[in-house]
Amino acid sequence: MPDAATGVSRHVELAGCCNFRDLGGYAARDGRRSRWRRLFRSDGLTQLTGDDLAILARLGITSVIDLRTPLEVRTRGRFDQPGVAYYHLPLSDSLPGAEQAPAWHDAAFVAARYRRMVAEGASALRQVLHLLADPATYPAVFHCSVGKDRTGVLAAVVLGLLGVPDEVIVWDFTLSRRPMHELADRLRRQYADNADVVEQFVPVVLAVEPAAMSGFIAGVYEEYGSFEGLAGAVGAASAVEPMRRLLLEDAG
């Protein structure tokens, strides 16, 4: 649905992925709002069609930030297009195993995993934030495989640093619900010969509980005091103000 004030659609419809959307249009506490068509979040980009790539070109995508593990990149490929800078910055070095899948119904478990991503992926997070402080990076998209967990953590950190209220960060997280059902159906079709394995991981894909993101945000405050404190802890304090200048605009 297009934004009522601007007519810009948050979700970008692509045939090759399910969860590509804009982080623009969110009101910050200082009265500004996040810029449209500057920063996007997405699921995997390796199955984009020619028409999809044309849409990304029209959006002016200059940089792709890939949060997936090295194994995912080796087995599923990477985004590789002329004129688009590619950055592989894994936010986690492992994926949940089948034995963990049932636990993804527990929002507290997921929130704790999100907090570990920040700790274990501190170096990648520092590099991402410094990239987002560079005007040459934009327009940019960051992604993982399903565009919900690692991508959701990074989106929360960026929006938090922009001063977007917590409840809006949680709302943005929950926008992945419908795309996750589409993605689960796509995985069932794509891996029909391994239906049992797919069904083991469907609970992980479909887990989009607001309490998981709320718990992550509460953990940031508990451990770092604020999102700014988190940025300082990973060595990216100097990136915060430049990033704000690039991603915020007056709400006119």
Whether residue 232 contacts residue 241, with contact meaning beta carbons closer than 8 Å, is answered with: no
The predicted pLDDT at position 57 comes to 96
Residue labelled with tokens 């948050």: 10
Whether residue 212 contacts residue 111, with contact meaning beta carbons closer than 8 Å, is answered with: yes
Cis peptide before 210 (omega within 30 of 0): no
199 pLDDT higher than 50: yes
For the record, the structure tokens of 40 come out as 């996007």
CATH T-level assignment (fold) for domain 21-239: Protein-Tyrosine Phosphatase; Chain A (3.90.190)
Comparing 1 with 95, which gets the higher pLDDT? 95
How would residue 1 be classed by pLDDT, with cut points 50, 70 and 90? very low
Residue 77 sits at φ, ψ, to 5 deg, of 85, 180
Element (H, E) at 196: helix 195-206
- The arithmetic mean of pLDDT across residues 118-145, rounded, is 97
Q: Looking at the whole model, is its pTM more than 0.85?
A: yes
**113 CB-near residues (< 8 Å, 6+ apart):** 96, 149
- The arithmetic mean of pLDDT across residues 193-197, rounded, is 67
Q: 46-50, 73-77, 98-102, 156-160: which range is least confident on average?
A: 98-102
SS3 142: strand
204 pLDDT higher than 80: no
pLDDT (tens digit per residue) in 222-236:
999 999 999 999 999
The predicted pLDDT at position 101 comes to 65
Residue 19 CB-density burial (10 A; 0-12 exposed, 13-18 middle, 19+ buried):
buried
DSSP secondary structure code for residue 17 in this structure: -
pLDDT (tens digit per residue) in 70-125:
999 999 999 999 999 999 999 988 776 666 766 767 889 899 999 999 999 999 99
Comparing 77 with 198, which gets the higher pLDDT? 77
pLDDT (tens digit per residue) in 7-19:
578 999 999 999 9
